[in-house]
Structure 1
Amino acid sequence: MLTVVQVLGVSSEDEMVACFLSGELASRRFGQNLRSHLAAAGQAEQLLTHPDLSDAGANFARRALLAATRGYGENRDLFENFPAHVTWTRALLSADEAAGVRYLDYSYWVELSGGSRRPADAAARIKAGLRAFDVPNEPFVDAAHAFIRGERFPPLILVGERQDKLVCLEGHLRLTAYALGGFSTGIECLIGTAPAMGRWAR
């Protein structure tokens, strides 16, 4: 079981939304759809690349964007059964704590990890040349090489009923890259906790 994480300070829903969208903007899988929604809303990428959390209008625009693309606040898609009231914290994970984080309960990540939803198991399977649903593993390997070279990644976004039992909400590729690179101490993350989070973070 995970120990209590090293807390850096209080975070917020607005910071989580901004971090989530920033991560998806850089994603090969989700970036283009996000850019399309930005354009449709008449917003520039700067809304996501340089978020001003003190700007209430910008915060509202980002929440609307996450609702449109991923169902945030609308109890659908990725955020189905996600609690409305979540306490957000900035923290650092040790290598052991990061290794204990599970992938979300989604078919691809279950398959990639051989059913365990553990990133270390996924890393072992990737190193063995195994693929999930024949999807190439190169993005994980490329990200792992960047991590090993010393590149810093955006914070992972993790959730759970408590800080000692966490599931990845955003950052699966980065989490897998950390596993391929052998993890490290001091992995930045945002942690969201709520008594009802068990409905989502199974």
Structure 2
Amino acid sequence: MVACFLSGELSSQRFGQRLRSHLAPAGQSEQLLTHPDLSDAVANTARRALLAATRGYGENRDLFENFPDQVTWIRAFLSAGEAADVRYIDYSYWVELSGGSRRPTDAAARIKAGLRALDVPNEPFVDAARALMRGERFPPLILVGENQDNLVCLEGHLRLTAYALADFPTGIECLIGTAPAMGRWAR
């Protein structure tokens, strides 16, 4: 999950530069994230430290506040219907973008209607949807919940919105984490 999360954020206009700014001081290159060797314990520790420094992973702070320590992870492909049921994180921007529902389909409808959240431009979503329609592949989304029937997006909100704008043209590759205590994080 850590390698997948960092890979997704590295390609993000919003988070990529912050991540890069932590690599050099840690004596690491982008290859740590672009070509992760999961059998390398030292590299795994470096990635975990990077996610802790940038997002609070394993430190019960920032994005990972109230995130359980023990999570079961699986790789999966979601159908359009399953992806439409995923909710955004409970964060003011995503709540406003979706009109309060936290559903990507509602956000897509609002974007198509020209509505903005917190006066943030919608072009990144539209550009990502166009890339998807051209056949570009996106990194897997990271979704979490107490079980697989009620998932919240942990990483990949822009990509999830792009899929919704494009009417979910393909199955969506995901990493899904479940834990009985996930409800404290994934409200």
> How far 1:184 moved relative to its partner?
3.2
- Any runs of at least 4 consecutive aligned residues in structure 1 with deviations exceeding 3 A, and if so which? none
Counterpart Cα distance in 1 of 2:17 and 2:4: 17
Q: 1:37 aligns with which of 3, 8, 22?
A: 22
Q: Name stretches of at least 5 consecutive residues in structure 2 with no aligned partner.
A: none
1:49 corresponds, among 11, 28, 34, to: 34
1:65 to 43, 47, 50: 50
Q: Give the letter for the 1:152 counterpart.
A: R
Which amino acid is 1:56 matched to? A
Whether the 8 Å contact between 1:112 and 1:131 is mirrored in structure 2 is yes
Q: TM-score, normalised by structure 1?
A: 0.92
SS of the aligned residue for 2:59 comes to coil
Q: Map of 1:36-185 to 2, 5 A cutoff? A: 36-185=21-170
Once the two structures are TM-superposed, the CA of residue 176 in structure 1 deviates from its matched residue by 0.1
SS in structure 2 at match of 1:28: coil
Q: What is the CA-CA distance between 1:120 and the residue it aligns to? A: 0.3
**Unpaired stretches in structure 1, ≥5 consecutive residues:** 1-15
Letter in 2 for 1:99: A
Shift of 1:42: 1.1
Q: Distance in 1 between matches of 2:9 and 2:63?
A: 13
Contact 1:144/1:180 (<8 A) preserved: yes
* Residues matched between the structures, number: 187
State the Cα distance separating 1:185 from its structure 2 match.
4.2
Match of 1:189 among 174, 179, 187: 174
**8 Å contact kept, 1:94–1:184:** no
Residue 135 of structure 1 aligns with an amino acid whose one-letter code is: V
SS at match of 1:169: strand
Identity between Structure 1 and Structure 2 (%): 87
TM-score normalised by structure 2 residue count: 0.99
Aligned-residue RMSD, C-alpha: 0.6
